[in-house]
Amino acid sequence: MEILIPGLILVALMVYASTKIKKRAAEAFEPETIETDTFSLRKPEGFLHVIDSADHDFEAYSKESGDDNYQSKRARIEMDAIRDIDLADACEQVRSRSSEFAVMDETDSGCRIEADEAANETGLKVFYKLVNAGDVVYRLRFAVLSKHVDDYMRRIDETLDSFTVKTA
């Protein structure tokens, strides 16, 4: 009997902690607006924002796992500020690593590109939004496993449309 009461209290605390953890984990995949000093974008539902990414200025990945051993996630979003490059050279960089390349929209200050790329022999459909901000080009990249692109089209469009660069 002396062990039963502390045991019940311990079980109750574990259930409470587990419920809180599950709720917080689910909230991490909710849509949210990411705003910095230089850009803002709307992270779509089902994506987890990687805080302080060492590889990109912004990075997020989908909740759903990839279909094989080469791609750990079905979709990834990456944003990089590329210094000392102009918009034409940034577009050429995208073209050089793509097997198929189409400029969907182009202005003096930016463009949207749809491309087919491969990573570890896995086909990717990649959507870019490039924004020229003087001596910096901001490159937003939304990459999806090719066979799942239809599942992500709404989120791709919303993310690309929401991406804005703040200029001084």
**75 and 25 belong to one structural domain:** no
Q: What does the mean pLDDT of the chain come to?
A: 86
**9 and 65 belong to one structural domain:** no
**Confidence band, pLDDT 50/70/90 cuts, at residue 81:** very high
**42 and 12 belong to one structural domain:** no
The confidence score (pLDDT) of residue 158 equals: 94
**4 and 49 belong to one structural domain:** no
Residue 6, domain extent: 1-29
> How many domains, in total, are found in the chain?
2
| Contact partners, residue 47, CB within 8 Å, separation at least 6 | 29, 60, 61, 62, 63, 75, 77, 155
Residues 29-53 have pLDDT tens digits of: 788 888 888 999 999 998 988 888 8
**89 and 146 belong to one structural domain:** yes
The confidence score (pLDDT) of residue 63 equals: 86
**53 and 91 belong to one structural domain:** yes
The confidence score (pLDDT) of residue 68 equals: 62
**What is the b/e burial string over 88-115, where b = at least 16 CB atoms within 10 angstroms of the residue's CB?**
eebbebbeeebeebeeeeeeeebbbbbb
pTM: 0.82
